[in-house]
Amino acid sequence: MTAAATECSTAKNAFSLAIAAYAIAWIVVFVFLYRVFGIDTASIILLLIIAFPLFVALRMQHRWLRLRIRDFAFLSVLLVIIVSGSGGAIWRLYSDGIHNQHVADIRFGKLANAAHSNMAFRNVDFSITRFKGRYIIQGEVASQSDLEHLEALCDKYGFSFYAKDVLVSSSDNNGSK
């Protein structure tokens, strides 16, 4: 094996190691975005954009012997643009408070699960509109005490004013609605 072939093999191994490091970093970013923002359209698109340099690098690795310096320059520029743009997008998501909306959605889901574990609330529907930030609790309960219990449960999870659309059914003993 000649010195040039050894140098080429070493460079290819270093490039493969860099690809593996970027892939691991991409997985870490994916887990971070999933835990903080949840999976929605913006984070999926952002993850695909971050993965683009990885796909380009894998393609370059298969054409290793025909690569030129300009190919590496292209990959470097692409990587800098993508990483800085993605970092700016993540910063913007934080400044817009999307991570707080995700936390509120999780809290609302816990409220719905807690309410559905009680048979008194089987006719109460918990939903989130397509446009985040609008939570809907509607339906009917059998008695005024069930309604008070639901309101207390909503207070516990921070959604106190959303239970106003829940009615007491007319089959209640005192006939109130």
Single out the residue in 64, 96, 128 at which a domain terminates: 96
Do residues 30 and 91 share a domain? yes
Single out the residue in 70, 96, 122 at which a domain terminates: 96
Q: What own/partner pairs with CB < 8 Å and gap ≥ 24 does 154-159 have?
A: 154/111, 156/111, 157/107, 157/108, 157/110, 157/111, 157/114, 158/104, 158/107, 159/107, 159/108, 159/111, 159/135
Q: What tens digit of pLDDT does each residue of 50-107 get?
A: 888 888 888 888 888 788 888 889 988 988 998 888 888 778 777 776 666 777 778 8
Do residues 91 and 124 share a domain? no
Do residues 10 and 90 share a domain? yes
The tally of domains found in the chain comes to 2
Do residues 126 and 47 share a domain? no
Considering the chain, what percentage of its residues have pLDDT values greater than 90? 2
Q: What tens digit of pLDDT does each residue of 107-125 get?
A: 888 888 888 888 888 888 8
Residue among 25, 82, 17 at smallest CA distance from 49:
82
In this predicted model, which residue has the larger pLDDT, 122 or 128? 122
Average pLDDT, the chain: 78
| pLDDT at 77 (0 to 100) | 92
pTM of the predicted model, to two decimals? 0.53
Specify if 145 maps to a domain: yes
Give the range of the structural domain holding residue 54, as residue numbers without chain letter: 3-96
Positive or negative torsion for Cα 40, 134, 167, 119? positive
Single out the residue in 96, 125, 141 at which a domain terminates: 96
pLDDT band at 45 (very low <50, low <70, confident <90, very high): low
Give the span between the Cα atoms of 53 and 55, in whole angstroms. Answer: 5
Do residues 77 and 124 share a domain? no
Residues listed for the chain: 177
Residue with tokens 């903080």: 36
| pLDDT at 176 (0 to 100) | 46
SS3 at position 133: coil
Specify if 173 maps to a domain: no
